Structure 1
Amino acid sequence: MHWLCGQFTALETQRNREHGTVVHLCDGILVGSGTLVNDNPRLNVRPELLVSSDSTAVLSSAPSHPRPIILDSNLRTPPTANIVLLKNRPIIVCSFNPSSTHSSDILKRQSDLEAVGVQILNLEGVSLHDNIPRILTALKSVYNINSLMIEGGSRVISSFLTLGSNAVDLLVVTVAPMFVGINGVKANDGNSIVNLSDPTYKQFGRDMVLVSKLP
């Protein structure tokens, strides 16, 4: 397995998912369809990674998994994706029009996904990345999702950061000793600066982790 961040930070990510040290115990963990298709993540707590430096298991009981949530406008998520196979009650938020010319293929994909336990939330005709507050409201009212860990990718993260503290309670940034390139995650549209409030820093092996609120 390859981690962009170091092993210690990967361990801390798993601890965050299990113990909720970022936002208490998150009800859900959210990614976009690009991350889902390209990386096929599990979005769960992985006990085999939760081992301390002296090989002692961190967990004393079975882990509590946040619910996987995918922003996927046209249901590109395959029924064979890890989040489906793990049966952690995944939710896909989509926005297709059932009466459109190309809807028959999407409706077939919806049927295939629902047959293997995926729950579909269709916000018909909505641009998902431009309507984050509406998505959060729907997730809370329909599925009782009150807290989310936003895992990626870049467009999803940017959509949340653009809203600032209206959508983000706590920001956790891992700084690894490498350059990503020009297509990395932008913090905000335009040229404005995203200010941080009460930042703290912690070293994990070779990585630095920044934790901060947004004003």
Structure 2
Amino acid sequence: MAATPSPPVFLNRVYGLAGNLDTQSFYTGDGQTRRSSLVSPDAGRPYVTLTFAQSLDAKIAGTGGQQLALSGKESMLMTHWMRTLHDGILVGIGTAINDNPQLNIDFPHRYHLPRPIILDTHLRLPIDCKLFNNYKAGVGRRPWVIASASSVDGDESRASRKSSLEAAGARIVEVSFLGAEVRHRNCIDTVIVTVAPNLVGKDGIGYGSNLPSDTLPAMRHVETVLFGIDAVVALRMH
């Protein structure tokens, strides 16, 4: 078995962590919790990192939301180390369906595995996705599916999808506010963006072009580092 690569000190500087990340990320099992290395300045919420990869022309997906392999192996390795510092990874159902992500780490299991959390209003997550396969194989944690407590389709159909997801291993968390516009300007602590040196073109899916100027948060640049051929930019919100 190949040796596990060392964690990048870039993450120590971005998150203000002392010591070796290798000693801060031990896996404790799916049903257990641990004290996170990252502490939010707001006691009412967890520490949140917004992270994604983009092309030079600010595209995050291909035509129709098709998955793009943007991150190189060096920046992806950094991303996996970053995952060990977080208790969960949250994605939307569009990403879960289009990309079929694993949302785990490519390291031995003595490192902390984040919890996959999927925003899935109508319980559309496929039961044959990699998240469930990883959980059954013991290489991923039990997925949590955040769904709407109210249903716009037939109760029988929804009940059947819920039962199938639970049988596959999901924990269904029903909330009443999905589908409504929810704003919270102070819910993100750090932003880490991987910029790949390629262009996607006008048919790709971009972001940010319709954001009202008066709602954009103030961000402070922390550091920009090259990982392989990718530029990784770290920003802090507070």
Match among 93, 99, 104 for residue 44 of structure 1: 104
1:13 positional shift: 0.8
Equivalent residue for 1:94?
Answer: 147
Q: What's the TM-score, normalizing by structure 2?
A: 0.62
- Judging changes above 3 Å, is the alpha-carbon distance between structure 1 residues 181 and 122 closer, same or farther for their aligned structure 2 residues? farther
- Judging changes above 3 Å, is the alpha-carbon distance between structure 1 residues 12 and 113 closer, same or farther for their aligned structure 2 residues? same
Tell me the distance in 1 between the aligned counterparts of 2:142 and 2:231.
Answer: 33
Q: 1:167 is matched by which residue type in structure 2? A: C
Match among 88, 104, 112 for residue 164 of structure 2: 112
Equivalent residue for 1:4?
Answer: 70
Q: Deviations over 1:66-117 (max 9, x none)?
A: 000000000110111111122211100011525x552321210100111122
Q: What's the TM-score, normalizing by structure 1?
A: 0.68
Match among 198, 204, 208 for residue 231 of structure 2: 208
Tell me whether 175-184 or 3-12 shows the greater mean CA deviation: 175-184
- Judging changes above 3 Å, is the alpha-carbon distance between structure 1 residues 29 and 38 closer, same or farther for their aligned structure 2 residues? same
Instruction: Report the secondary structure of 1:86's partner residue.
Output: helix
The structure where helix makes up a greater share of residues is 1
- Judging changes above 3 Å, is the alpha-carbon distance between structure 1 residues 29 and 188 closer, same or farther for their aligned structure 2 residues? farther
1:126 positional shift: 3.1
Q: Deviations over 1:109-152 (max 9, x none)?
A: 10011112210011136326x337xxxxxxxxxxxxxxxxxxxx
Root mean square deviation, CA, Å: 2.3
Q: 1:185 is matched by which residue type in structure 2? A: Y
Match among 115, 120, 130 for residue 67 of structure 1: 115
Tell me the distance in 1 between the aligned counterparts of 2:153 and 2:71.
Answer: 44
Instruction: Report the secondary structure of 1:14's partner residue.
Output: helix
Match among 90, 97, 115 for residue 30 of structure 1: 90
Instruction: Report the secondary structure of 2:117's partner residue.
Output: strand
Equivalent residue for 1:135?
Answer: none
**Contact 1:5/1:174 (<8 A) preserved:** yes
Match among 196, 215, 225 for residue 176 of structure 1: 196
Tell me the distance in 2 between the aligned counterparts of 1:187 and 1:207.
Answer: 23
Tell me the distance in 2 between the aligned counterparts of 1:206 and 1:191.
Answer: 32
Deviation above 4 Å: which 4+ runs of structure 1?
A: none
Higher relative contact order (CA 8 A, sep 6+): 2
Matches within 5 A, 1:51-200: 62-87=110-135, 88-98=141-151, 100-124=152-176, 126-127=178-179, 130-131=181-182, 163-164=184-185, 166-182=186-202, 183-186=205-208, 189-192=211-214, 193-200=216-223
Gaps of 5+ in 1: 21-25, 48-58, 133-162
- Judging changes above 3 Å, is the alpha-carbon distance between structure 1 residues 125 and 173 closer, same or farther for their aligned structure 2 residues? closer
- Judging changes above 3 Å, is the alpha-carbon distance between structure 1 residues 101 and 32 closer, same or farther for their aligned structure 2 residues? closer
Instruction: Report the secondary structure of 1:73's partner residue.
Output: coil
Q: Deviations over 1:29-69 (max 9, x none)?
A: 1100000001110100112xxxxxxxxxxx6x623210000
**Contact 1:29/1:43 (<8 A) preserved:** yes
Q: 2:228 is matched by which residue type in structure 1? A: G
Q: Deviations over 1:7-31 (max 9, x none)?
A: 210111111112x2xxxxx111110
Equivalent residue for 1:147?
Answer: none
Gaps of 5+ in 2: 1-67, 136-140
